[in-house]
Amino acid sequence: MSTPPEATLESPDYAIIAMVQGSIGEPAVALGTKGRCRFCGQTEPRAFRNVAHTLPDAFGNKWVTSLDECDACNASFGTFDDALVKSMGAILTVGGTQGKGNKVRQTGRSDGPASIRHRIIDGKRSISMRTNGTPFSDHFGVKPKTGELVFRIPGGTERFIPARAYKALVKMAVALLPADELPNFTKIIAWLHSTDDDLLPHMIVGISFSTIGNSPPLLAAALLRRTSSNLDTPYMLFVTTMGSVCLQIVLKADSQDGEWPSRLRTRPNIRWTNMLAPTGEEPLALVYDYPVHLDWGRAGLEPPVIEAIVTAVHPQTGQGHMSAVLRKSALAPSPS
Ligand SMILES: [Zn+2]
């Protein structure tokens, strides 16, 4: 369906050292070598019976798996992936992202204050929303300036633990590390197995979006290593795009960012572009915005990061665009 997509990056300080992609029509990719778990050192062959998804299957990953993630690690990482899914469940529903068993995740309980359902009717995607006991005017309106009709889909009421969702990103990043980089990240790997209250300084996550709506069935993940000699530049960044969302973190190194745990306050700020090249068609650039930053250094249950998804429709042309509204309390305060 498409030739391998490419990713581009506008940053002189970094070079991509590892990257995987998955998309419809692309061959499966298996990372790592069998025999030893890169997360815990397990070598027992019977401890590697399950398929370990490198990126969560709930985000549409059907292509990228890890050979060197044991079943015990896979099971404990499942709770991290679950937290990541709950942090932004609405975008998976609205995007029609096909998770496990090709099912689209639904957001909100049908008896809750608001829920969103994704269905295929006559081969067409249908998003429906229902509200119980909340006024109609909370969800529909007209923008006075443009006359656009505005629909507001609430982000659901499921809660998540930010520190766990952060660990989901760390786990993906570690899965991608080339073998010769693993010795530089022993401390963050050990931290993956720590309790959730064991927080690190500056657990900052960059989040941005490309077009929201029909989620592109495309996942990419990359590690970027610094090329400059500026030690205020974090040594390693991890960026992943899953459908219409892009997430990025600093992958904290043992000593390359100063003493562990690093006090480095630089935020990941990569503007990522995926190039889609459908056979026989002009390549299409899928551009993700510059990120805004979330603080996931918290161990308590919180409401989803995506508070609502807003669709604005022009009354004459019928053209619409969707945008995600992030919960203000989820944002990291501006650095002082
Ligand atoms: Zn393991």
Please write the tens of the pLDDT for every residue from 311-325. 888 877 777 778 899
Task: Kindly give the distance from the C-alpha atom of residue 169 to the centroid of ligand 1, in angstroms, as a whole number.
Answer: 17
Chain centroid to CA 50: 23
Task: Kindly give the distance from the C-alpha atom of residue 142 to the centroid of ligand 1, in angstroms, as a whole number.
Answer: 53
Residues 6 or more apart in contact with residue 303 via CB below 8 angstroms: 155, 157, 159, 327
Domain hosting residue 235, numbered range? 2-92+159-330
Say what the pLDDT of residue 112 is: 59
Whether residue 154 contacts residue 147, with contact meaning beta carbons closer than 8 Å, is answered with no
Say what the pLDDT of residue 5 is: 44
Task: Kindly give the distance from the C-alpha atom of residue 84 to the centroid of ligand 1, in angstroms, as a whole number.
Answer: 20
The answer to whether residue 189 is domain-embedded is yes
Report d(CA 225, CA 234) in Å as an integer. Answer: 8
The answer to whether residue 204 is domain-embedded is yes
List, edge to edge, every strand of the sheet that includes 306-313.
140-142, 149-154, 306-313, 320-326
Say what the pLDDT of residue 263 is: 84
The answer to whether residue 57 is domain-embedded is yes
The answer to whether residue 121 is domain-embedded is no
Task: Kindly give the distance from the C-alpha atom of residue 99 to the centroid of ligand 1, in angstroms, as a whole number.
Answer: 24
Say what the pLDDT of residue 114 is: 61
DSSP H/E element including 192: helix 186-192
Token pair listed for 152: 């507001």
- Residue 18: strand pairing partners: 223
Residue ranges of alpha helices (H) inside 155-295 are: 162-176, 186-192
**Considering just the CA atoms, what is the radius of gyration of the chain in Å?**
20
Task: Kindly give the distance from the C-alpha atom of residue 193 to the centroid of ligand 1, in angstroms, as a whole number.
Answer: 10
Task: Kindly give the distance from the C-alpha atom of residue 263 to the centroid of ligand 1, in angstroms, as a whole number.
Answer: 28
pLDDT tens per residue, range 280-307 = 778 778 889 999 999 999 999 999 999 9
Helix, strand, coil percentages (3-state) for the chain, rounded to 5, are 20, 35, 45
Number of compact structural domains in the chain: 1
Distances (CA, A) of 292 to 9, 108, 146, 202, 209: 17, 25, 26, 14, 10
Q: How many residues does the chain have?
A: 336
Residue numbers of the chain with a pLDDT score lower than 50: 1-6
- Residue 256: strand pairing partners: 258
The conformation of residue 237, written as its DSSP 8-state character, comes to: E
The answer to whether residue 271 is domain-embedded is yes
